[in-house]
Amino acid sequence: MTTYTLALIPGDGIGTDVTDAAMEVLAAAAKGRFSFETTRFPWSCEYYLEHGTMMPADGIETLRGFDAIYLGAVGWPETVPDSVSLHGLLLPIRKAFNQYANIRPHRLLAGVEGPLKAEGFDILCIRENTEGEYSGAGGRVHEGKDNEVAVETSVFTRVGVERILRFGFEQARARRKHLTSVTKSNAQKYSMVFWDEVTRELAAEYPDVTVSQMHIDAMAAKMVMAPQDLDVVVASNLFGDILTDLGAAIQGGLGFAASANINPDRTAPSMFEPVHGSAPDIAGLNIANPIAAIWSVAQMLEHLGEGEASSAVLSAIEAATAKGLGCRPGASSTQEITAAVIAALEA
Ligand code: GGG
């Protein structure tokens, strides 16, 4: 029986609640098939307050040896600025392990209508995950003075843009063969024009995939007006981050949005995490929706080559939502939803 090594970083707030739920489901899915050797790391805002860093200096090297990383949520803005927690944990892991493809599936699960009742809504957002607007390149001068200046540079490399678009084209090829590339190239005349050019270059290599190029503002409107027309959506780090919160809203809320930070070359571990943040106001109340976190487990199993277990987890999620569990905020507890998923898995 294969044993996978898993680095677990529950993080902050409801990160712990949903990670516990996800691990219960993982144990049920693994039973009799494979096993997990899990190491839990307390890296979080609480860790920061004690140590002055979100993770130890050798944190990245410690994680490198694992088969996969699972992360709950990061952030506790009352105590640690969000920019510190994000740039201290989540973003360095994505960059260090070349997890350049952030895969975020959005569709209506059985029994979930979402605010738009967008029947047939089923898109795969591919967010560039290691550069662009979140490169962390920039600086501030004259801090606190009238002439203060803050500069933040977006970094788009040919390697980075080409590989994320190619990844998107491959995904489109395996789905409904339509790719929408999202930029703002009318306003951003260097980086986004470059992204558009690379999109057209690659489109020539994928004649079986139809391509649309859209500006982010028009794309936001389209996602609300006609989300069913979209298939694979590829966007930069910032635009992908924003669009996937919109995708989450259309699918019924952030509690449904799963994500996989993938290193497609498999030269380092990939990381799996729900899209939502730490929601400190509801932490520990047993009301966080664990479905996004459980769906992220299904993505992890698929990445590890456990396709059968992955499909079983997805079916079990839908068996639970079809009964109404998790479909309305606060109507079912975290534990009730988790138990329903496990019961469906074991049925
Ligand atoms: N579940 C991970 C988490 O805490 N996400 C919050 C967040 O703001 N993430 C920003 C990002 O995905 O770049």
- Ligand 1 atom showing the smallest separation from residue 74 Cα: 4
Provide the token pair at 321.
């939502």
Q: What is the pLDDT of residue 330?
A: 80
Q: What is the pLDDT of residue 62?
A: 98
Tell me how far the alpha carbon of residue 278 lies from the centroid of ligand 1, in angstroms: 8
For residue 315, what are the contacts with CB-CB under 8 A and spacing of at least 6?
344
Provide the token pair at 257.
């949005």
- CA-closest residue to ligand 1 atom 6: 277
Q: What is the pLDDT of residue 108?
A: 97
Q: What is the mean pLDDT of the chain?
A: 97
Residue 206's pLDDT band (boundaries 50, 70, 90)?
very high
Pocket of ligand 1 (CB under 6 A): 73-75, 86, 241, 273-274, 276-278
Q: What is the pLDDT of residue 278?
A: 97
Q: What percent of the chain has pLDDT over 70?
A: 100
Distance, CA of 67 to CA of 235 (rounded, Å): 27
Tell me how far the alpha carbon of residue 210 lies from the centroid of ligand 1, in angstroms: 31
Candidate from 17, 71, 74 with most ligand 1 atoms within 8 A of CB, to mutate: 74
- 176-180-185 Cα angle (round to 5): 170
Instruction: Identify whether the C-beta of residue 136 lies closer than 8 Å to the C-beta of residue 84.
Output: no
Tell me how far the alpha carbon of residue 277 lies from the centroid of ligand 1, in angstroms: 5
Mean pLDDT (whole number) for 202-219 = 98
Distance, CA of 120 to CA of 208 (rounded, Å): 22
Q: What is the pLDDT of residue 203?
A: 98
Mean pLDDT (whole number) for 124-134 = 98
pTM of the predicted structure, to 2 decimals: 0.96
Q: What is the pLDDT of residue 176?
A: 98
Helix (H) or strand (E) run with residue 248 in it: helix 237-250
- CA-closest residue to ligand 1 atom 13: 241
pLDDT, one tens digit per residue, over 90-109 is 999 999 999 999 999 999 99
Strands 258-262 and 270-274: antiparallel
Tell me how far the alpha carbon of residue 344 lies from the centroid of ligand 1, in angstroms: 29
- CA-closest residue to ligand 1 atom 11: 241
Tell me how far the alpha carbon of residue 50 lies from the centroid of ligand 1, in angstroms: 22
- Ligand 1 atom showing the smallest separation from residue 237 Cα: 13
Mean pLDDT (whole number) for 66-79 = 97
Instruction: Identify whether the C-beta of residue 269 lies closer than 8 Å to the C-beta of residue 68.
Output: yes
pLDDT, one tens digit per residue, over 242-275 is 999 999 999 999 999 999 999 999 999 999 999 9
Distance, CA of 88 to CA of 51 (rounded, Å): 12
Residue 274: strand pairing partners: 258
Mean pLDDT (whole number) for 323-328 = 89
Annotated active-site positions, please?
134, 184, 217, 241, 245
Distance, CA of 268 to CA of 346 (rounded, Å): 32
- Ligand 1 atom showing the smallest separation from residue 12 Cα: 4
* Domains of the chain with bracketed CATH: 1-107+253-347 (3.40.718.10), 115-250 (3.40.718.10)
For residue 316, what are the contacts with CB-CB under 8 A and spacing of at least 6?
25, 341, 342, 344, 345
Tell me how far the alpha carbon of residue 282 lies from the centroid of ligand 1, in angstroms: 17
Candidate from 17, 89, 131, 275 with most ligand 1 atoms within 8 A of CB, to mutate: 275
- CA-closest residue to ligand 1 atom 1: 73
257 secondary structure, DSSP code = -
Q: Is pLDDT at 329 greater than 90 in this prediction?
A: no
